[in-house]
Every structure is written in structure tokens, then in C-alpha cells.
Structure 1
């Protein structure tokens, strides 16, 4: 069955997901606020700033008018940066009439600054349940560049309602893009957000010249931290050894496609943070998420030494070599 899907956010991930939906013969409306970018999508069928080597189908139609993009849509997919989720959700809520109730999906990864809320919580706060037919989190190990090339990818559709998760699974699944369902929304969202912190650290180790031993240590102990914080908020610990946990951590913490890894790599080469962020051209969610996770850990009394170390480098201008020495010389303990 052909569905109408409004994809909000024409960045690399929003564009790649639009390509999957178009491949599956759905009507895809890709909304953004940059009129030049949208014009490029509609006339040249490219999005060179985000996926420079990708040719888009003319079935992917760009919109700058949010009302036109979501009118009649059976699914609305949020793929905007975390800091924009609340404002975009408010705009969507003002335009929904409660008659056509779309399924809401989000594929963003992060925690809101100040409130430290998960993205699904933000959307549910801004869009009343009587205006939509359920909310699903779409997450997992997935570089947009590889999805755009139809490389094999597996991700998770998480929802408190199994029926809605299965609808989204069916919407996206095809021969190169496999979707599993999951009921642990908290675990899936926290795994997706927190692994970006560890990816920054992994990139920093590479930039400093450390080898595979150090990176494996960081990612393994980083996953332990992610699990501790997630379980404290009600997540299932098994979620963190799945696609949205260790899977996403591997792909984000080891690849040049990861903007968090690239940012960390530059930090390891002693490039100042302001210059790193300016050079990236896209949001580095791990930087803001580090602050949110550090503050949450302090509130909950959760031990997260790697997160704390990265926080010190990002927000207290601590020397990265000294921070690593401090981590390695912590009190001896059992694994």
C-alpha cells in the first residue's frame, strides 16, 4: 500500500531515509527551511551539501511549506537536530486537525539541553495524543552515506505499541534495509543518544595516535556507562547489546562517516573545539549530549568516568592527555 510520508529535515539522514521510502514506492515529501536546498532537490534531484555523490529520484519532492508537506500525510518522520525538535513539533501540532491522524516517527539522536528529555518525550509534550496515531523511534547502526548506496543496513523501530512499530517496520523494510521491532523506547533512545559521547572519545584516541587496544577499551567501558545510566531510567539492559546499543556504538565509534568520530579526531589533534564545530558543517550531537549525560549522571549518582572525562575536555578545557592518564590511574576495581 502506497503511503504519504512527510520527512521533516533534509539533512543526510533525512535524505537517505527518503530514498528508502521512495524505493518502497511511497509518496515522499521532504521538508526543509532552506529554499535553495529545496529548489536543488526539486530541480537537480541532488542534495550536494549532505550527500554529494547521490542522485535522488524525482519521486522525492521538496517542500518549504510545512502545512503542504504534512497535509494528508499518513506518517510524519522527524529527522531534524535535537535542538529543533520542540519548535518543529509545535509547528506540526498547530497544523494537525485531528481528522487524519498520522503515525509520528523520529530518527533523531540526542537529549534536549536544559531539560535532558528524550526526543519522544518532547514530541509527546508538544503534539497531543488525539492528533496522531502513535509514536515510533527509528534507530540503529546506520550511516546515511551507506544507506544512500543501498548498502545492507539493520535498524530498530521502537514503540510502546507493537502494532504501530510493525506498521513502521513494514513502511521501511526492503532487500537492503531491514527493520526489527522493539518495545524498549527508553533504552533505544538513550543508546542512540549516549553512544555519540563515546564516539567523540574514540575519535579523540585516533587523533592522539592510540591503537585498537585503546579504542576497544573505551568502547567496551563506554557501553557499560551507557547501560548503567539507561537502566537507572528504566531501560532494559539487554537493549544495549542490540542494534541501538552496541550496534550503533560500533558504527559511530569506528568510522570516518561519523561526524562525532570526526569531531573527536580533530580534538585529539589539539584543534580547538570552536574550530572543530565550525569545520563540521553539521550538528555534532555528541558534544551537547555529553553535557546532558554528565548532568544526569550527577543527579542520579551514576558513575560515568569516561563521560566525565570527555565533559572535562569539552566544557572545562582540560588537557586531553592528562584526562586519559587520570582515567587509567583510577582506583582498582572488578569489571
Structure 2
């Protein structure tokens, strides 16, 4: 891959993708950005006014009109670095027309914090299996961060994880800027699975808050959740020495569990208040990744015979329609 070429393609047009477009545009080293926008009407609006009408509509995005596309395959073919930034449930549809050859000799970055439903695969594994992308060409972006704060230029730290540190550093040069710091990591599986798990724990926090429990209890819940996450990550990949207290794991968990911007906490809060899953999904305008992740993580729990009572509680409430108050009561004696 030619280091002098600096074409970056973004596949996705939600709030995080929009914030990332602004973030990359603010970096003076990188101005040649290609953007796939799913809705034709949004695409036309962005071309005319430089704002995404559906997400973060106040944010000015600087993308050349000729670099806006409704075809994801074109964006991928013309880019040197491809950043995938759709909800995990929609990634397969977004890439439906894309061939393995389109990803040849490109760096592929996953900014998706979820598991591909039905396949039960994190995005990195899905890319290697479906498109034969070498793991050395894949970089994962972890938090802690929310799109709303990044777009408001609040100082944020992003963790970039990958097997090849030269590739990770190359991506880091385009990501870091005036309000973005980067932390580099080799724990690609831990960072990606940690991002999946923290969404489930944020759902748990929201459920408990919606059910009337306060900050004192939720602090206990989250302190248990980070230990539960550590147990799960060790079972998935024990070859990497990771500090579960660092920002990619504990930091991302905290911001997702407590922030006003957390869609997973909001979704959980609605469930704790008595909403059905369907009614909560209809009311929200964004995808709560933790809902899909909860079912997928059950396979890992069963495969490794793990004791993960918080994840189990969320799963029982969401998929077996168990009352939140009943499942919370079962959890109480398992927390320390």
C-alpha cells in the first residue's frame, strides 16, 4: 500500500459515521474523504447544504460533492483505507454488492461496536471469513467516546487495535488531531469483544435505573461487570496480556453505562420502565447494539461454560421476556 495515497472511505451515515467525517475533515493532513450515505434524500441534502439531516444535523461536514456516493462498492474500490461505520445488524446489507477483490490490498478499519447477528461473529472475524481480508490489514477502533462529544470537539481518546503495528500507526496518523488522542494496542480481539460486552452492561445499567434502583447499586453492578468482562475476554483470547482497567475496557464501559448519550443505557432504561423490546425499538431512532449482542454472547457463555450473571440477566429479560424486577432480584446475591 502506497503511503503517499490518502483516500479514506467511510461506509455508514449514522451519528458515529457523521462525527468521524467531521473528525477526519478537521485533520489538515487528510482532506480526500469518500462517504457512502444510505438514503438518497440524505445524500442530496448533504451535497446541497453540508449537513446530515438525519444525524447530528448541526454538524458541518466537509466532503466534496463528487466524493459522496450511494454505492458502497464504489467507495471501497476508490479508497486506500476503508472505515466501516454502520450498525452491525446492517453491515451485511451495506456490503451486499461488494466482492472480496474490492478489499484487496486495503486497510480496513472497523468502527462498529457490535456482533453480526445470526453469524455470531465480531466484525473482524466476519471480514476475514467473508472477504478473505488478512488480519494484519484490519484495525479496530475502540472508545471511550460518544459521537455527540466528538462532533462537539470534546477531547476524546480512541484506542486503535491491530496485529500489525505499522498499519495501526498509519491509521492513527489520520485519526489523531486537535481534540482526538489515540492509544495503540495489539489486543484486537479484546478491544472488539470488550466493545460488544460494554453495550450489554450499559443495557443492564439502564434496566436497573429504569426499575428504580439508584447510583449506589449501579456502581456495584458496573464494578462486577468489569470483572465479568475480564473473565470473558480471558476465555476468548488468553494469549494477550491486557489491563482491563485501561480506557479501552473500563473507560468505554463507564461512558456507555453512565452517559446521557448512551443509546444502550437509554434502551435499557425503557425496558426497566416496562416497555416491550418492540416498543422501545420503535421509539428510538438509533440502534442499541447491546440488544443483538446479548443473544450472540450467549453462545460464548455456553461454549466456554462461563459464569456471567449480568449478561444472563439481560438476555433473560430481552429474549425470554422475563420481568426485569424478577431477574434483578435473582442477580442480587451474585454481586459482590
Q: Same fold (TM over 0.5)?
A: yes
**Structure 1, residues 26-78: CA drift from partner, whole Å, max 9, x if none?**
21111022111111111121113211332222547421023432333111110
Partner residue of 1:255 out of 249, 253, 259: 259
* Map of 2:164 onto structure 1: 161
Q: Distance in 2 between matches of 1:116 and 1:244?
A: 22
Displacement of 1:184: 0.6
Displacement of 1:295: 2.6
1:57 has 2:62 as partner:
yes
1:13 has 2:16 as partner:
yes
* Map of 1:91 onto structure 2: 97
1:304 has 2:301 as partner:
no
Q: Distance in 2 between matches of 1:216 and 1:138?
A: 26
CA gap 1:182/1:89 in 2 versus in 1, 3 angstroms: farther
CA gap 1:95/1:40 in 2 versus in 1, 3 angstroms: farther
Partner residue of 2:173 out of 166, 170, 173: 170
Q: Distance in 2 between matches of 1:274 and 1:287?
A: 11
TM-score normalized by the length of structure 1: 0.92
Q: Assess if the C-alpha contact under 8 Å between 2:33 and 2:63 holds in 1.
A: no
1:285 has 2:289 as partner:
yes
CA gap 1:227/1:97 in 2 versus in 1, 3 angstroms: closer
The size of the alignment, in residue pairs, is 329
Q: Distance in 2 between matches of 1:87 and 1:259?
A: 22
Q: Secondary structure at the match of 2:244?
A: helix
* Map of 1:326 onto structure 2: 330
Partner residue of 1:82 out of 71, 84, 88: 88
Q: Assess if the C-alpha contact under 8 Å between 2:163 and 2:186 holds in 1.
A: yes
Displacement of 1:237: 5.9
Q: Distance in 2 between matches of 1:33 and 1:12?
A: 13
Q: Assess if the C-alpha contact under 8 Å between 2:313 and 2:331 holds in 1.
A: yes
Give unmatched runs, 5+ long, in structure 2. none
Displacement of 1:90: 5.7
Q: Distance in 2 between matches of 1:36 and 1:239?
A: 45
Q: Distance in 1 between matches of 2:118 and 2:302?
A: 14
Q: Secondary structure at the match of 2:83?
A: strand
Q: Assess if the C-alpha contact under 8 Å between 2:36 and 2:71 holds in 1.
A: yes
Partner residue of 2:247 out of 243, 246, 249: 243
Q: Distance in 2 between matches of 1:10 and 1:95?
A: 24
Displacement of 1:292: 1.1
* Map of 1:221 onto structure 2: 224
Give unmatched runs, 5+ long, in structure 1. none
1:123 has 2:117 as partner:
no
* Map of 2:154 onto structure 1: 151
Displacement of 1:317: 1.1
TM-score normalized by the length of structure 2: 0.92
